[in-house]
Amino acid sequence: MGIIVSFVFSLLLTPAVVKAAGSFNSPVKDELKDRHGYKKGTCSLGSVPMIISYAAGAFISGDRQSLDYLFLSFPFFLIGFADDMLKFRRCSADGFKSITKLILQLAASAFAAYILRQNYPGIEGVVYYPVAVLFITATVNALNITDGLDGLATKVTMPLLILSAASFSSLRSASMILFAVLAAYLVYNSSRASVFMGDGGSHFIGAFIALTAFFSHHPAAVVLSSAVIYLELLSSFIQIIAIRVFSRKVFLIAPFHHHLEMKGIGEEKIVDTFFSISVFTSLLSAILFTRVL
């Protein structure tokens, strides 16, 4: 029942929020205006129906794991949503300062790591806290960076959710609830998108992915399945190092999906390719780390 409710809520709430949001739209970065200028004015409040729909499904299902996901992911949603609000108020593509945003993410990650350590057996080790905090923060930023093309962040997340639901019975309800939310959201987020998830949505989903690594006790399976987002993060990191240390660029623009755009590859082609890679890495993860295949 929770899956059905989350799908219906997402399907109905998303256009309602877009209509109610009015002038709340997504600014376009200067370096992307040539290719993405037409997206100016697109509503970037997709995170609101997303979090409401997931919460409705989780509460109706009564599944503890689904509620734990919501509880631990919600601070990240708030960070992203606040960032979206700042962008709107400033009429700018920039919200929080990078250091401010990072501190908030690290604090939310530390809180999640502490709760996980206290409530879930088998999570231990002297290096647990620094590794957990860095991993959660990195995953949130990886999904946030990946969310740059219509439907991209949504589509590369869905194969992992199928893998999680098929491989880990305790995570089945939560994974399918979020899958239902994203399936309905994709109706409005596929090219040409009428709504974006914004930082609120990308932070929420990124945290969900990171938490799956801990809840499943198979972090390698989750990382491999989500390889696309970590490669996107790596491309941005390489670009920053190359510019600051060597004063030159490795990519025309980072992250990598924008580099491919600058090379003349169409947006839909890039999204479909990354989705296909995510399906493959999820199947490979199922073969190597689970008993599904």
93-113 confidence digits (pLDDT tens):
777 888 999 999 999 999 999
127-185 confidence digits (pLDDT tens):
888 999 999 999 999 999 999 899 999 999 999 999 999 999 899 999 999 999 999 99
pLDDT of residue 29: 65
Tell me if residue 43 falls in helix, strand or coil: strand
User: For the chain, which residues make up each domain, given as ranges?
Assistant: 2-218
Do 220 and 152 contact (CB within 8 A), yes or no?
no
DSSP state of 25: -
- Average confidence score pLDDT of the chain: 90
| pTM (predicted TM-score) | 0.93
Distance CA 261, CA 257 (A): 6
- Distance (Å) of CA 180 to CA 52, 113, 154, 227, 271: 13, 27, 11, 22, 20
11-52 confidence digits (pLDDT tens):
999 999 988 876 666 666 656 666 666 677 788 899 999 999
Label residue 117 exposed, middle or buried (CB < 10 Å: 0-12, 13-18, 19+): middle
Distance CA 118, CA 216 (A): 16
Nearest one of 178, 155, 152 to 165, comparing CA atoms: 178
pLDDT of residue 31: 63
Name the band, by pLDDT with cuts 50, 70 and 90, for residue 88.
confident
Distance CA 222, CA 225 (A): 5
- Whether 288 shows a pLDDT value over 70: the answer reads yes
Three-state DSSP string of 241-293? HHHHHHCCCCCCCCCHHHHHHHCCCCHHHHHHHHHHHHHHHHHHHHHHHCCCC
